[in-house]
Amino acid sequence: MSHARKPRPEARDVALPDAHNRLLAEKRLSPSDAIDRVRVTVNLAERSLGWPSRAGKLVLLLALDRLDTHYTRGGR
């Protein structure tokens, strides 16, 4: 039986978009800068996927709500 090998971290980094690599290279982001980057990324993702302009924002809000529930209620 063959087992799939996990990609090396550096191999995954090469596949990341340039903007994401720049974000990872920075040590700290102000909260407003992080939110602005997420907003721009969501807009670009919606456009590239052909989604309506608010679909990505809805998905992001659902994901953030689930994270909030997970961390505030201990994952229950």
In a domain, 75, yes or no: yes
Contact 19, 11 (CB under 8 A): no
In a domain, 24, yes or no: no
| pLDDT for residue 1 | 47
**Burial degree of 51 (CB within 10 A; 0-12, 13-18, 19+):** middle
What pTM did the predictor assign? Answer: 0.38
In a domain, 37, yes or no: yes
Average pLDDT value for residue range 7-11: 50
The C-alpha atoms of residue 51 and residue 23 are separated, in whole angstroms, by 25
Q: Give the number of domains in the chain.
A: 1
Domain hosting 76: range is 29-76
Q: Look at residue 4 and tell me whether its pLDDT is greater than 60.
A: no
Please write the tens of the pLDDT for every residue from 12-71: 555 556 766 676 666 566 777 877 888 888 888 878 888 787 787 888 888 888 888 888
Please list, in sequence order, all residues whose beta carbon lies within 8 angstroms of the beta carbon of residue 37, skipping any fewer than 6 positions away.
19, 23, 29
